[in-house]
Amino acid sequence: MRDRYREFLGEGMRAGARFALAPALRANTGASGAVLGRRAGSSLDFRDYRDYQSGDDVRAIDWGAFARSDRLVIKQYREETLPHCDILMDGSASMALAGTEKLRAATGIAALFAEAATNAGFSRNAWVARTGCEPVVRGNESPIAWDVPEFDHKSGLFESLERLPPRWKRDGIRCVISDLLFQGDPTTFLRRVSQGATLVIVVQVLARADVNPPERGNFRMTDSETGEIREIAIDAASVKRYRENLSRWRDEWQRAARQAGARFVPLVAEDVVDGWRLDELVRADVVRLQ
C-alpha cells in the first residue's frame, strides 16, 4: 500500500512541477513575497503612527514628525511572515472507494498543491483527517517522502475537524481535498476552516461512479465508512433523485464558498488522472502554468 501511495504522490509531484499557486492568491503579500500579517512588527511596510510610550525603543521615534508637531510618535510597521499553504486530505474510507481512481486523484492533487506552493515561494504542510486532523509524517518535506496513513477512517471530514482541528498557520492558504460526501452544513464548515486564513480552496474529488451511478438493477452495496451491507434496487426514478440531490449538495457548497470568499473546484477523479492537465484549477485561478 505504501508503494502505491508513493506512486500516486509521485504522479502529482510531476504534474505540480508545471504549476505555481496563482498570483491572485498573493494579493496580501509584500514586495519581497512575504505575507503581511495583522500584528505590528519590524518589516519595511509602514502601518501607522502612535504616541510614544515610556519603554519604547527611541530608535523608532519619528524625529521629523516631532519637529513638525512637537509630539513624540512611533512608526509602526506591519509584520511580515513567510507565505504558507496547509493541505488537508479527507482520510475517510469513501475516498478510497474500490474500483475508482479517487484515492489516486486525491493524494496526487495534494502533492500537486505542495509542488505548486513551493514553486510560488510558499512553505507548506500536509494534514489528513481521520479520528482528528493529524499532521502527515514529514508533511513539510517533498511529497514523495510523506508517510500517508490509510484512507480507511469511519468518520466524516466534518466530525474529524470538530474533534481535533489542524494546527494551521494564520494568514495562510488552506486547501481541502474531499468528496464532501459527509453530513454537516457547508457554511459552518467553511466558517471554521476560513478562520485566520487568507484564502480557502475546496477541491471536491468524486469518482465517475459517484457522478453517474448505474441506471437500474439490484445491487448489494456496502457503506465504505460504516461497513453496513444493504440490498438496493435501482431504477430510473431513484437515479434521478440521486442526481438531483447530488446537484443540490454541490450547489450548497458553491453558494457557501462564495459567501466565505473561498474557491470551490469540483473534479472527477478519472478525468484528473487521465493526463493530469487540471484545467479546472487554472480556470478557477487557483494555480497557473509556469
The 10s digit of each residue's pLDDT in 107-139 is: 999 999 999 999 999 999 999 999 999 999 999
Q: What is the pLDDT, as a whole number, of residue 35?
A: 46
pLDDT classification of 241: cutoffs 50, 70, 90: confident
pLDDT classification of 62: cutoffs 50, 70, 90: confident
Angle at 215 between CA 151 and CA 90, to 5 degrees: 15
For the chain, which residues make up each domain, given as ranges? 2-28+83-289, 35-81
- For the stretch 176-222, pLDDT in tens is 999 999 889 999 999 999 999 999 999 999 999 999 876 655 544 44
What gap in Å lies between CA 87 and CA 102, rounded to an integer? 17
Q: What is the pLDDT, as a whole number, of residue 183?
A: 84
Contact residues for 257 (Cβ-Cβ < 8 A; gap 6+): 186, 190, 200, 202, 263, 264
What percent of the chain shows pLDDT beyond 90?
Answer: 60
- For the stretch 216-230, pLDDT in tens is 555 444 454 555 555
Q: What is the pLDDT, as a whole number, of residue 234?
A: 67
Q: What is this structure's pTM?
A: 0.78
What gap in Å lies between CA 31 and CA 243, rounded to an integer? 47
pLDDT at residue 37 greater than cutoff 70: no
Q: What is the pLDDT, as a whole number, of residue 192?
A: 94
Task: Sheet containing 133-135: give its strands across.
Answer: 133-135, 123-129, 84-90, 173-178, 199-206, 263-268
Q: What is the pLDDT, as a whole number, of residue 72?
A: 85
Contact residues for 198 (Cβ-Cβ < 8 A; gap 6+): 25, 28, 35, 171, 172, 173
Return the CATH class of domain 2-28+83-289: alpha beta
Q: What is the pLDDT, as a whole number, of residue 242?
A: 84
pLDDT classification of 41: cutoffs 50, 70, 90: very low
